[in-house]
């Protein structure tokens, strides 16, 4: 190809999403498959959100509210933060890209754990920045090593809490120590896509640091707990000055009309949230016990997904599970060649997963 592609773009490894159910069934000629690979809400979207979408369909000939006034106002009330501190995104991935575009120049650095959410690296490389990777310690983010990796070229630090793909958390005390001597011109991004699933009282809640010390950016999403992954709506909470700059470069209609009304309705559907949390936490208890009975090692989580050590090639297990009609995620590409990641499903899906895993591991 004669097109000249910049070196920083060529260095980006493609993001590989979870295999869609429709593609799997078409490839293998099977039906009734289940997907436990993308950390989605097993109950689906909020009924209130679906009704809000139905009522909004007649307005699709109109552009969305570029400022997202109704949604942002509802979020500010829900979070007890200023309206001007919130930036809407087409998923939280969008906010990650906006931060990189706003804060990084070519050659400047962003420190991030590895493995973690792959979009941090992609966003940084896209703008010519340099990702600095800090390995996990016992599957958890090592804040001491993260701090040592910060230097005069560092502009951003990414933290995922709970971390994807390991489900481990950062404690509030450890975060306080991390911030203590961090230069105040560095922006610390705390990605809390799964924070609502956490049950450990020691877990960091980045909202407690809003408005104090170094600039903290909190990322949240409606894709997980609220079951709106298909509509792609996320947001960031940050100092108002920084939010103003992100909004200057943000696409004016980056969150579509249906996503906005669905997110606002989902935020009010407390019953759906409680049902989801109950299904996830009860499902984890069932899966933990079933794997223990099978003698299969796993790693407890503070999220809606967890890692399982299958004691053999994870990619082979992934492929064998596909043939059983169960989509999981191989962690081979994350540097864990013996691990798979699975998210909690409905009770029937959890049972199906266990039965399929038994067949794969003990043919």
Could you please report the per-residue DSSP string of 167-218? Answer: ----BHHHHHHHHHTS-TTSEEEEE-TTGGG---TTB--GGGGTTSSSEEEE
Q: What is the pLDDT of residues 73-98, one digit of tens each?
A: 999 999 999 999 999 999 999 999 99
The length of the chain in residues reads 363
Predicted local confidence at residue 31, as pLDDT: 74
Predicted local confidence at residue 72, as pLDDT: 97
User: Domain residues of the chain, as ranges?
Assistant: 16-44+271-361, 47-268
Taking CA atoms, 64 is separated from 12, 117, 229, 294, 349, in Å, by 32, 29, 19, 51, 37
In the predicted model, what is the mean pLDDT of the chain?
94
| Residue found by looking up tokens 């792959």 in the block | 118
Residue 13 binned pLDDT confidence (cut-offs 50, 70, 90): confident
Predicted local confidence at residue 59, as pLDDT: 95
Q: What is the pLDDT of residues 298-345, one digit of tens each?
A: 999 999 999 999 999 999 999 999 999 999 999 998 999 999 999 999
Predicted local confidence at residue 303, as pLDDT: 98
Q: What is the pLDDT of residues 252-311, one digit of tens each?
A: 899 999 999 999 999 999 999 999 999 999 999 999 999 999 999 999 999 999 999 999
Other C-beta atoms closer than 10 Å to the C-beta of 257 total: 18
Residue 213 binned pLDDT confidence (cut-offs 50, 70, 90): low
> Percent of the chain beyond pLDDT 70?
97
Per-residue pLDDT at 18 exceeds 70: no
The first and second tokens of residue 82, run together, are 């200023």
Q: What mean pLDDT do residues 22-45 have?
A: 86
Report CA torsion sign: 265, 266, 270, 272.
positive
The first and second tokens of residue 253, run together, are 């209609």
CATH 3.40.228.10 for domain 47-268, yes or no, is no
> Percent of the chain beyond pLDDT 90?
88
Evaluate whether 193 touches 10 at the Cβ level (below 8 Å).
no
Evaluate whether 362 touches 354 at the Cβ level (below 8 Å).
no
Beta bridge partners of 46: none
| Residue found by looking up tokens 């266990």 in the block | 354
166-200: string of b/e by CB count within 10 Å (b at 16+)?
bbbbbbbebbeebbeebeeebbbbbbbbbbbbbee
Other C-beta atoms closer than 10 Å to the C-beta of 277 total: 15
Residue 14 binned pLDDT confidence (cut-offs 50, 70, 90): confident
In three-state secondary structure terms, 232 is coil
Predicted local confidence at residue 22, as pLDDT: 78
Spatial separation of the C-alpha atoms in residues 268 and 275, rounded to whole Å:
14
In three-state secondary structure terms, 312 is coil
Closest CA to 193 of 286, 97, 305: 305
Q: Cα torsion at 256, 262, 264, 267 (round to 10°)?
A: -140
CATH topology of domain 16-44+271-361: 3.90.1150
Neighbouring C-alpha atoms within 13 Å toward the C-beta of 325: 11
Per-residue pLDDT at 231 exceeds 80: yes
Q: What mean pLDDT do residues 195-210 have?
A: 95
Closest CA to 159 of 123, 186, 193, 189: 189
């Amino acid at each position: 190809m004669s097109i000249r592609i910049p070196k920083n773009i060529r260095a980006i490894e493609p993001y590989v999403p979870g295999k869609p159910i429709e593609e799997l069934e078409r490839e293998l000629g099977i039906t009734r498959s289940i997907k436990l690979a993308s950390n989605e809400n097993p109950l689906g979207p909020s009924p209130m959100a679906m009704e809000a979408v139905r009522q909004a369909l007649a307005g699709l000939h109109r552009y969305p509210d570029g400022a997202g006034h109704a949604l942002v106002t509802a979020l500010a009330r829900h979070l007890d933060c200023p309206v001007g501190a919130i930036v809407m995104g087409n998923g939280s991935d969008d906010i990650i890209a906006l931060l990189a575009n706003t804060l990084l120049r070519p050659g400047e650095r962003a420190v991030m754990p590895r493995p973690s959410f792959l979009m941090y690296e992609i966003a940084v490389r896209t703008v010519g920045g340099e990702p600095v990777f800090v390995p996990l310690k016992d599957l958890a983010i090592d804040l001491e090593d993260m701090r040592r990796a910060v230097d005069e070229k560092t502009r951003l630090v990414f933290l995922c809490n709970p971390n994807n793909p390991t489900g481990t958390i950062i404690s509030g005390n450890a975060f306080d120590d991390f911030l203590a001597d961090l230069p105040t011109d560095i922006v610390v991004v705390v990605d809390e896509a799964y924070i609502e699933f956490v049950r450990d009282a020691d877990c960091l809640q980045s909202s407690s640091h809003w408005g104090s010390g170094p600039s903290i950016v909190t990322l949240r999403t409606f894709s997980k707990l609220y079951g709106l992954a298909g509509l792609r709506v996320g947001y960031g909470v940050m100092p108002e000055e920084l939010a103003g700059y992100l909004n200057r470069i943000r696409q004016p209609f980056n969150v579509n009309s249906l996503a906005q009304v669905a997110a606002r309705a989902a935020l009010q559907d407390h019953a759906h949230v409680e049902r989801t949390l109950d299904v996830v936490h009860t499902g984890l208890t069932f899966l933990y016990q079933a794997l223990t009975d099978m003698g299969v090692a796993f790693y407890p989580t503070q999220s809606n997904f967890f890692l399982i050590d299958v004691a053999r090639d994870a990619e082979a297990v992934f492929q064998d599970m596909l043939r059983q009609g169960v989509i999981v995620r191989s962690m081979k590409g994350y540097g864990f060649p013996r691990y798979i990641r699975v998210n909690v499903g409905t009770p029937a899906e959890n049972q199906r997963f266990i039965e399929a895993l038994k067949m794969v591991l003990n043919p």
